[in-house]
Amino acid sequence: LTKRTKRLIFPSEIFEEIEDFKQTRSPVIVSLQPDANLGAIKKRLTELGQWLSSEERDNNGRVSLVLAAHSTKVKPEQLLGIAGVAAVSMPTSVHPKIEAQGPSVDVDGVRVGGGAPVFFAGPCSVEGEEQIFEIARAASQAGASFLRGGAYKPRTSPYAFQGHGEPALLWLQRAAREFHLKVVTEVMSEATAPLVAERADLLQIGSRNMQNFSLLKEVGKTQKPVLLKRGMSATVEEWLLSAEYLLVHGTKGVILCERGIRGFDTSTRNLVDIGTVALLAHVYRLPVIVDPSHGTGRKDLILPLGRAALAAGAAGVMIEAHNDPGSALSDGPQALTLSELQQTLAQLKREQP
Ligand code: PEP
Ligand code: MN
């Protein structure tokens, strides 16, 4: 067989539920040429982060290598490029678009992923124009690239502050422009998606809405990049499928945000899943940021968790900060003061991996 005869095989698969998918998804199979150098091929596969689950030999002595599911995702062309490989059979992905997206997303000139860590900072809620200007100034001085802040707040209690809505979007945009920051803010409803898209550079889908599929479709239509927070009890597969929804419907790039999942222990607000951050960054090679503020609910854990996030491969860190945390209308206890924000970002930038 010559190189020209190498081919790709995409076995079609039918599945209804993710649970079925897990059991039926076919593995990557690398079929070798009869005269292939098995040792050299195995060595090259290891270098590419591929793990062997089995080695099969047909009646003619032809070898096929079955790769384990936890192998690093690589382009089939990379496997086909190895001398002695005759064919590669790839499983059909259930989320092909997000898997093909790549490790960085450009948000109006700011690249998230694939370079130096990017910082997102701001209050939980945009409480007033003066407040957001003061925080934007500090975030910019501290070296953040994105100004965060909710105009529409998803609150567990209907009695809690729900956000200032449309005026807050305008304050946020003005403050960000003044200090050369990009705006990231949450979209809560289909009806307000176009409005938020007009003011924000990056649209945030909150944890509680990660599987609000009609919202995902509507946000997709705006074509704006999205920061997709992980649902508090979502599996990685569910999270990636939500990213897929966005991309299918028009979104130009998805940045994932690990914000902690529900654990059994209430010592911290949530359980920050650093293992999954490493999985997404190093195996799926996707841009993922970490939000230690909602992840732990404790300001004293933001620096150590920020370090852990970056060490695990996160593209950035999102931190809640407030000019006066004691009087914040939401999430005061987990917010850093503006000088703590300055110190934290300086420290993380100094130590960046
Ligand atoms: C937020 O970032 O403002 C927020 C509400 O976070 P989450 O959706 O992760 O709870
Ligand atoms: Mn908050």
What average pLDDT does this structure show over 27-49?
95
Which burial class, exposed, middle or buried, applies to 339 when counting CB atoms under 10 A from its CB (0-12, 13-18, 19+)? exposed
Check pLDDT > 60 for residue 3.
no
Q: Which atom of ligand 1 is nearest to the CA of 259?
A: 9
Nearest ligand, measured from the Cα of 152 = 1
What average pLDDT does this structure show over 252-280?
97
What is the distance between the terminal CA atoms of the chain, rounded to a whole angstrom? 44
CA 68 to mean position of chain CA atoms:
24
Average pLDDT over the chain, rounded to an integer: 92
Using a pLDDT cut of 70, give the percent of the chain over it.
Answer: 93
- Of the candidates 164, 168, 50, 104, the one whose C-alpha atom is nearest the C-alpha of residue 314 is 104
**What is the residue type of 339?**
S
Q: What is the pTM of this model?
A: 0.84
185 lines ligand 1 (CB under 6 A): no
Check pLDDT > 90 for residue 237.
yes
State the pLDDT at residue 15.
36
150 lines ligand 1 (CB under 6 A): yes
State the pLDDT at residue 353.
74
Of the pLDDT bands very low, low, confident and very high (cuts 50, 70, 90), residue 6 is low
- Between the CA of 124 and the centroid of ligand 2 the distance, in Å, is 4
230 lines ligand 1 (CB under 6 A): no
**What is the residue type of 92?**
T
